[in-house]
């Protein structure tokens, strides 16, 4: 893991190994979102969380995605954590 947002609930969209879909995603997302709650989805790059947000929306949950992800886009040296992203923008996080 790259880190986490304090107070966030983790609902996995794809699982290791093999990046397989989480068969319990719908149930876990409904439980995490509660009734009438908005959710913000975040992954390392912002790519997987797009699909997760789309699925949450299909479930009737108001879902938002952090497009830059946790680590942001790659910089000129193809490294993350320098350009954008939750962590580089100084938003709350802790190392895991």
Residue 13: is its pLDDT beyond 80?
A: yes
Domains and CATH numbers, the chain: 14-88 (3.40.250.10)
Say yes or no to pLDDT of 1 above 60: no
Q: What is the pLDDT of residue 2?
A: 75
pLDDT digits (tens, 9 = 90+) for 36-93: 889 999 999 889 999 999 999 999 999 999 999 999 888 888 888 878 899 989 999 9
pLDDT at residue 53 in the model: 97
- The reported pLDDT for the residue numbered 41 is 96
Three-state SS string over the chain comes to: CCCECCCCCCCCCEECCCCEECCCHHHHHHHHHCCCCEEEECCCCCCHHHHHHHHHHHCCCEEEECCCCCCCECCCCCCCCCECHHHHCCCCCECC
């Amino acid at each position: 893991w790259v880190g986490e947002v304090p107070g966030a609930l983790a609902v996995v969209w794809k699982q290791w190994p093999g990046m397989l879909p989480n068969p319990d995603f719908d149930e876990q997302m409904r439980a995490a979102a509660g009734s009438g709650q908005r959710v913000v989805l975040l992954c390392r790059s912002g790519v997987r969380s797009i699909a997760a947000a789309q699925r949450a929306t299909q479930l009737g949950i108001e879902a938002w995605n952090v497009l830059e992800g946790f680590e942001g886009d790659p910089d000129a040296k193809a490294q993350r954590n320098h350009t954008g992203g939750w962590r580089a923008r100084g938003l709350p996080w802790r190392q895991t």
